[in-house]
């Protein structure tokens, strides 16, 4: 895994574009995640995507990740609305210089082959904008683990399609080391890192959005995961995504600084402790 670390959009949801760029730059990140809704005020003030891209670049920041897209698996009117929003994300991602777009998992109330076809079609439209599509497997959906997630991506058979490895969702969704090893390393598009307790404190959603911990402060074997990904030849950026009431109570700059320091410490310790 390379040293590129980016600040996920959900870590600083309420921050303005300039505030999140400044916080990321000051903390040493190489990039940020972003949603179109998070730059509405800048558009209202007359700024363009090119302006935003330039302002980020001036501080050494790239918009790495754009998202997220849901309902991409749907047909009918719901599917049409989802595709229209995907096109918004793709156009925005290209204009802002993004690397990939996140698609979240959902229900499998249709044959897997059909769902894979719809994922493939989205990948084709994303490719026209120079973007990768990364599937994030959510534990409370019908695609809770990366084993089934990879089967869907594999069936879609698109080179720009891949998987997001979110350490929280890996633990809560029951993904295994064998599932990780089965993933071609080039199909791991991004890693999103946080820590936590082995067992959920509350229900999935409460637990996910309120109880994550800084890397190294929980019980997850993040060092073991880093070692596995390194040995597997994974070269993907690492997004810091620590969602908790404690973090939300802090100023944006402090959240960015603490997330970067904790993530760097875990990555460095894991690699230093590994026998050469």
For the stretch 2-23, pLDDT in tens is 349 999 999 999 999 999 999 9
User: Domain total for the chain?
Assistant: 1
Between CA 245 and CA 187, with CA 136 as vertex, the angle to 5 degrees is: 135
Whether 103 and 136 have beta carbons less than 8 Å apart is answered as: yes
Is 262 part of a structural domain of the chain? yes
Q: In b/e form, how buried is each residue of 163-185, taking b as 16+ CB within 10 angstroms?
A: bbbbbbbbbbbebeeebbeebeb
Whether 69 and 89 have beta carbons less than 8 Å apart is answered as: yes
Whether 243 and 209 have beta carbons less than 8 Å apart is answered as: yes
For the stretch 201-259, pLDDT in tens is 777 777 888 899 999 999 999 999 999 999 999 999 999 999 999 999 999 999 999 99
Structure tokens at 156: 């879609």
Is 276 part of a structural domain of the chain? no
3-state secondary structure (DSSP) of residue 159: coil
Tokens 């760097």 locate to 264
- Alpha-carbon 85 to chain mean position: 18
- Exposed/middle/buried for residue 269 (C-beta within 10 Å: 0-12, 13-18, 19+): middle
3-state secondary structure (DSSP) of residue 262: helix
DSSP symbol at 46: T
3-state secondary structure (DSSP) of residue 208: helix
For the stretch 56-102, pLDDT in tens is 999 999 999 999 999 999 999 999 999 999 999 999 999 999 999 99
What number of other Cβ atoms are within 10 A of residue 93's Cβ?
25
Is 243 part of a structural domain of the chain? yes
- Exposed/middle/buried for residue 66 (C-beta within 10 Å: 0-12, 13-18, 19+): buried
Query: What is the sign, positive or negative, of the torsion defined by CA atoms of 35, 36, 41, 46?
Result: positive
First CA to last CA across the chain, in angstroms? 16
Structural domain range at position 34: 5-271
- Alpha-carbon 2 to chain mean position: 16
Residue 123: which of 70, 91, 151, 86 has the closest Cα? 86
Is 34 part of a structural domain of the chain? yes
Write the CATH number for 16. 3.20.20.150
Structure tokens at 212: 């994550």
pTM over 0.85: yes
For the stretch 127-166, pLDDT in tens is 999 999 999 999 999 999 999 999 999 999 999 999 999 9
What CA–CA distances, in Å, run from 231 to 131, 181, 225? 26, 10, 10
Tell me the C-alpha distance between 52 and 68, whole Å.
Answer: 19
Is 96 part of a structural domain of the chain? yes
């Amino acid at each position: 895994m390379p040293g590129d670390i980016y600040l996920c959009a959900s870590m600083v949801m309420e921050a303005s574009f300039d505030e999140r760029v400044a916080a990321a730059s000051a903390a040493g990140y190489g990039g940020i995640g972003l949603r179109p809704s998070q730059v509405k005020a800048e558009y209202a003030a007359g700024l363009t995507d090119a302006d935003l891209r330039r302002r980020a670049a001036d501080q050494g920041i790239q918009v790495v990740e754009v998202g997220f897209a849901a309902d991409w698996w749907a047909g009918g009117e719901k599917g049409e609305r989802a595709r229209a929003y995907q096109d918004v994300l793709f156009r925005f991602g290209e204009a802002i210089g993004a690397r990939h777009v996140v698609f979240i998992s959902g229900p499998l109330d249709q044959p897997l082959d059909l769902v894979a076809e719809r994922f493939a079609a989205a990948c084709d439209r994303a490719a026209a904008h120079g973007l990768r599509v990364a599937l994030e497997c959510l534990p409370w959906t019908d695609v809770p683990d990366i084993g089934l997630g990879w089967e869907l991506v594999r069936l879609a058979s698109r080179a720009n399609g891949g998987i997001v490895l979110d350490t929280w969702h890996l633990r809560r969704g029951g993904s295994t080391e064998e599932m990780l090893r089965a993933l071609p390393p080039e199909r791991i598009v991004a890693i999103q890192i946080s820590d936590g307790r082995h067992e959920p404190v509350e229900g999935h959603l409460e637990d996910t959005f309120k109880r994550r911990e800084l890397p190294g402060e929980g019980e997850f074997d993040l060092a073991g995961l880093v070692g596995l990904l390194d040995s597997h030849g994974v070269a993907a950026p690492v997004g810091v995504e620590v969602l908790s009431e404690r973090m939300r109570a802090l100023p944006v700059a402090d959240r960015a600084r603490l997330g970067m320091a904790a993530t760097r410490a875990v990555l460095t310790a894991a690699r230093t402790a590994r026998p050469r």
